[in-house]
Structure 1
Amino acid sequence: MPAPADRLTALHEGILDWFAAHARDLPWRDPDCPPWGVLVSEIMLQQTPVVRVLPRWRAWLERWPTPADLAAAPTADVLTAWDRLGYPRRALRLQEAARAIVERHGGEVPADPAALRALPGIGEYTAAAVSSFAFGIPETVVDTNVRRVLARALRGEALPGRTLTRAEMAAAHAAMPEGADRANAWNAAVMELGALVCTARSPACDRCPVREVCAWVAAGSPPPEERPRGQAWAGTDRHVRGAVMAAVREHGRVPAAQVRDAVVATGRLGAHRPEDAQWERCVAGLLTDGLLVRHDDGALAFPG
């Protein structure tokens, strides 16, 4: 293995060259994509694969091409347009962020990472990603894919820990190449390598551009100390909540007496039939989260 400094140089050259040749042609990477489009993509891509995001992103930007457009939209329309992207609270937070952008920044997405972090629903990762990808400010962008690539390439670990630590963030910052253009390209390139090649379950090491300098490969590709467990879905509260949202999305307003039948009719619950306690808990949670409202007659509907 080369010395640490030489290995980092080799990682920079290998990953950046690979990205230049193999990066996916995604619309939010287009130089003409406005910062608003980048921000929308980052919110939609949280825990959701690109293939599902692409059609929703295009439809969203066509309907609400600016923060002001989304800020003025009825919330019911926003939740309906979110469709089946999952985690619909993201749609509410995105609209809240749009309203804050209009109120605080004249309708223009701010470039400053601190101003971005101050927007509703925008955390450290999203603020850094928008600053880097939309404005060319070389913030350190660290998502799950980046963590995994750096854990393997630099530390020889199969997978990173459960939570991002300050030490890990500092190491990611130190690993960035010099120069704003290269640093911003690096942010996207490492993320892309993790998504397409250095995947969690079946890494394609034979196709990896930095296999020869990867600490994990040099160590014999040891298995992770703790294997991540897959998230259960069928029969969970998330499953039921999603089915309720689907029923309201389809019907607009569901009379109280027909809510359960409407939810079952979506087919999203399969054979699962929630007991009263789970049903009441899920509906109450949707109401508390602001995703649904209950009218005086007991009917459920989207707010606004």
Structure 2
Amino acid sequence: MTLPDSGQLAGLHQALDQWFARTARNLPWREPDCSPWGILVSEVMLQQTPVVRVLPVWRDWMERWPTPAHLADEPSGAAVRHWGRLGYPRRALRLHAAAVAIREQHGGKVPDTYPELLGLPGVGNYTAAAVAAFAFGRRETVVDTNIRRVHARLISGDALPAPALTAGEMRLADALLPLDKELSVRWNASVMELGAMVCTARSPKCADCPVRSSCAWLAAGEPPPSYTPKGQSWHGTDRQVRGAVMAVLREAATPVPREMFEQAPADLGFAPSGVGIPLAALHRLNSAPEQLERALDGLLVDGLAEMHDGGLRLPA
């Protein structure tokens, strides 16, 4: 791998900056008046979740809880209930915990530096860097899956980045980051956008790429990846059963007795309506009893559900 010289790097910065100015998606968390809180919420929601699914939930959250204090005043179960079907609902608990910490430790304002952001519950290296950059204009190295893939192809000549983030990738990202603060923010956003919209994992649109003439992967003849990426399974997994149980709890106004999860609505003497609809969907999975037990017990351990009056409910 050969790093671009200063002139080549300046050319890459300029080409992507101009491309992003022309083609960037109009997303609400990119608007100049979006609050740092809105950007933090978007970054957490967008982890492993497509923009199209995040948009309605993000808008709902911003209407319900326009500041961290608004969310912190609610029970954590409200965050889980309004997480909808975004998946990985522990992210909702982490956002609630972060909101409480922001209210109690930062005067209700999202902290504006990487170290302070990293100190919030559930905020990791990527999220801290992204919020510092996109909400506060800090020069931070932002590295997500899309950025890693662009760097791998453009500079390293590899079809895909390594299965897990490496120290070498972070050094490369640091070396590519513009020294100018404002340009560094736009560079992070433009490389991320290029990976999401053009330099995609399965079907890259190389003809639309603004930096294709500099791409090491194209120059090498588009060699195949050195490994086969493992897709995330869903059907028949514990995650699917947990999601189905969470759908029941989100609809329930009162604690749901454990036996209702173990018996179909018809066996309990009522037709599917209200909470019976997600309950019927849960039973259509035909999961093994031990898998259902794992799902119920796991949600309790993870704090996504709690026992109350002999039944399960979202955390209060």
Counterpart of 1:23 in structure 2 is 24
For 1:122 and 1:178, locate their aligned partners in 2 and report how far apart those are by CA, in whole Å. 25
CA distance in 2, matches of 1:291, 1:127: 24
Deviation at 1:287, TM superposition (A): 0.1
Distance 1:23 1:270 in 2: 43
The range that moved more, 231-240 or 8-17, is 8-17
**Identity between Structure 1 and Structure 2 (%):** 57
**What is the TM-score of this pair, normalised by structure 2?**
0.92
Task: Give the alignment partner of residue 258 of structure 1, picking from 257, 260, 264.
Answer: 260
Q: Normalising to structure 1: TM-score of the pair?
A: 0.95
Instruction: Give the secondary-structure state (helix, strand or coil) at the position aligned to 1:53.
Output: helix
Report the equivalent of 1:144. 145
Question: What is aligned with 2:299?
Answer: 286
Paired residues for 1:1-304 under 5 Å? 4-5=4-5, 6-252=7-253, 253-260=255-262, 261=264, 265-266=277-278, 268-269=281-282, 271-297=284-310, 299-304=311-316
Query: Per-residue deviation at 1:294?
Result: 1.7
For residues 129 and 256 of structure 1, the distance between their equivalents in structure 2, rounded to whole angstroms, comes to 41
The separation in 1 between residues aligned to 2:109 and 2:222, in whole angstroms, is 46
CA 1:58–1:278 in structure 2 vs 1: closer, same or farther (change >3 Å)? same
Shift of 1:230: 1.1
Aligned counterparts of 2:189 and 2:200: Cα–Cα separation in 1? 15
d(CA) in 1 for partners of 2:21, 2:281: 41
Q: Which amino acid aligns with 2:153?
A: R
Return the letter of the residue paired with 1:143. D
Deviations 1:65-92 (A, max 9, x none): 1111100112222111111111000000
- d(CA) in 1 for partners of 2:281 and 2:24? 35
Preserved contact between residue 3 and residue 155 of structure 2 (Cα < 8 Å): no
CA RMSD of aligned residues (A): 1.7
Contact kept in structure 1, 2:137 and 2:182, CA below 8 Å = yes
Gaps of at least 5 residues in structure 2 are: 266-274
- Between 191-200 and 6-15, report the one with greater CA deviation: 6-15
C-alpha change, 1:30 and 1:235, in structure 2 (3 Å) is same
Structure-1 separation of matches of 2:150 and 2:95? 29
Q: Is the 8 A contact 1:138 1:180 kept in 2?
A: yes
Pairwise CA distance, 1:170: 1.1
**Structure 1 alignment gaps of length 5 or more:** none
| Change beyond 3 A, Cα 1:3–1:88 | closer
Moved more, 256-265 or 134-143: 256-265
Structure 1 residues 71, 7: closer, same or farther in 2, change over 3 A?
same
Kindly state the Cα deviation for residue 265 of structure 1 after the two structures are TM-superposed. Answer: 4.2
Taking a change above 3 Å as real, the CA distance of residues 16 and 244 of structure 1, as seen in their structure-2 partners, is same
Q: Measured at CA, do residues 74 and 145 of structure 1 come closer, stay the same or move farther in structure 2, by a change above 3 Å?
A: same
Q: CA–CA distance in 1 between the matches of 2:240 and 2:294? A: 13
Does structure 2 conserve the Cα–Cα contact (< 8 Å) formed by 1:40 and 1:94? yes
CA drift of 1:270 comes to 8.0
Task: For 1:205 and 1:270, locate their aligned partners in 2 and report how far apart those are by CA, in whole Å.
Answer: 45
Separation (CA, whole Å) in 2 of partners of 1:155 and 1:230: 24
Residue aligned with 1:4, SS: coil
Number of matched residues?
302
Residue equivalent to 2:268 = none
In 2, the alpha carbon distance for the partners of 1:107 and 1:165 equals 35
